[in-house]
Homo-oligomer: A and B are copies of this chain.
Amino acid sequence: MTVNVPGPDDGLPPLVDHHCHGVLRHEPDPGTFAAYLTESDRPPAAGTTFFDTQTGFAVRRWCPPLLDLPAHCPPDRYLARRRELGPDETRRRLLGATGIGAYLVDTGLPGDLTGPGETAEAGRGTGYEIVRLEALAERTALGVRDAEEFTHALDTAIHHASRTAVAFKSVAAYRHGLALNPLPPTPGQVHTAVRDWMAAGLSRLTDPVLLRHLVWQAIATGRPLQLHTGFGDPDLRLDRADPALLTDLVRATAGTGTDLVLLHCYPYHRHAAYLANVFPHVYADVGLTLTHTGPRATAVLAEFLELAPFGKLLFSTDAYGLPELYLVGAALFRTALASVLGDWTASGAWSADDARRVGAMIAADTARRVYGLPASEPPG
């Protein structure tokens, strides 16, 4: 079996996947599998299938060889072989071929998913946790009686999380959009907003006062804060997820010492790169975007690298549910990076030494610095 994944022999250090999610513990049925290929939470249009997307084609390109099948084999055949091997062996094979050394897992998504340690173990790497603020707040609210108790419990929960998690994450882009008032709300505003939210039966947290409170509470811990920006599921208004809308918040947080990591960014990745260029505490992430753009990942990565300082860009997969998405994310990143840096070196624009150094920064070194990870992972 030839594994046509550009792997650990491409000169990159073990990758740090600084933003990902657990994978399904159980075998998904074909419809469920296909649904994980898209950010949509809706059925495919009549006459179409989610396999006919760049993500679907990328899965069919990279994964079948690891399950002893030819690349591009039909979905049915692939899914049949997957069932034959079972979820554990599939996961072991796919994650084992990614060359990822550290998994920073956002644990805030629903489903019977592997946790950070469990995910990392299948890939023979190290797992770390990222705490999603809105999920933490919603969970915290379930066990309290009133607004005051909630505020205290939330403080405690965030403080506690900051000792074990490597970062926090905000999905304010989904819940409200990024055009947030940049200042921290006052205690009185927070109290009123919590009371109203509890009175309304603790529905999904969308109050911009509470979303801002979470952001500022997380920032106070000094842990890097990941912010969803750019595309996602249909719950989001794309134009309200433009990272440029965060400019005022970026300015307001410039003196805190806390780093902000703009996730995904597409199709506003040039905007995100600009923010990373001019604000020292802003970083940008290529994850999700590369996974969903297939052979265009090369061009999109190059667009990120127009204005993003080379020490401000971070690899991730944003894989969720399927171990296939880890493999595809890593393979597309490796392919795109090799292509971009190879072209620039061949033309004389960059030196080979610089290209190697920049590749390692994006793949792992910057994430290790930003999240305070050990210089390399202990053997798994």
Residues on A close to B: CB < 8 A? 4, 38-40, 42-50, 52-54, 57-58, 61, 71-72, 231, 233-234, 237-239, 242, 244-245, 247-248, 251, 254, 266-267, 270-271, 274-275, 277-281, 292-296, 299-300, 302-303, 305-307, 309-312, 343-344, 347-351, 353-354, 358, 361, 366, 369
**Min C-beta distance of A9 to chain B, whole Å:** 18
Contacts A/B (CB < 8 Å), 23 sampled: A38-B277, A39-B278, A40-B278, A42-B254, A42-B278, A43-B280, A44-B309, A49-B311, A50-B309, A57-B350, A58-B349, A61-B349, A72-B350, A237-B244, A237-B247, A238-B271, A267-B270, A292-B307, A294-B306, A294-B344, A296-B302, A296-B305, A299-B302
**Min C-beta distance of A43 to chain B, whole Å:** 6
Contact B296 A234 (CB under 8 A): no
Separation of A54 and B232 alpha carbons in the complex (Å):
29
Separation of A50 and B276 alpha carbons in the complex (Å):
12
Separation of A52 and B130 alpha carbons in the complex (Å):
28
**Min C-beta distance of A216 to chain B, whole Å:** 21
**Min C-beta distance of A371 to chain B, whole Å:** 13
Separation of A309 and B254 alpha carbons in the complex (Å):
40
A294-B344, A295-B350 known, 13 other contacts, Cβ within 8 Å: A38-B309, A42-B278, A45-B309, A47-B369, A48-B310, A52-B358, A53-B310, A71-B351, A72-B350, A72-B354, A231-B274, A294-B349, A296-B305
Counted per complex, copies of this chain come to 3
Contact A312 B349 (CB under 8 A): no
A-B pairs, 3 with minimum CB distance = A48-B311, A267-B270, A72-B351
Closest Cβ neighbor of A350 among chain B residues: B57
Contact A278 B309 (CB under 8 A): no
Separation of A300 and B38 alpha carbons in the complex (Å):
22
Contact B350 A309 (CB under 8 A): no
Separation of A248 and B237 alpha carbons in the complex (Å):
8
Contact B239 A251 (CB under 8 A): no
Separation of A277 and B351 alpha carbons in the complex (Å):
39
Separation of A38 and B73 alpha carbons in the complex (Å):
46
**Min C-beta distance of A370 to chain B, whole Å:** 9
Separation of A306 and B288 alpha carbons in the complex (Å):
12
**Min C-beta distance of A56 to chain B, whole Å:** 9
Separation of A310 and B46 alpha carbons in the complex (Å):
13
Residues of B within 8 A of A4 (CB): 348
Contact A343 B295 (CB under 8 A): yes
Separation of A305 and B295 alpha carbons in the complex (Å):
10
Separation of A292 and B306 alpha carbons in the complex (Å):
7
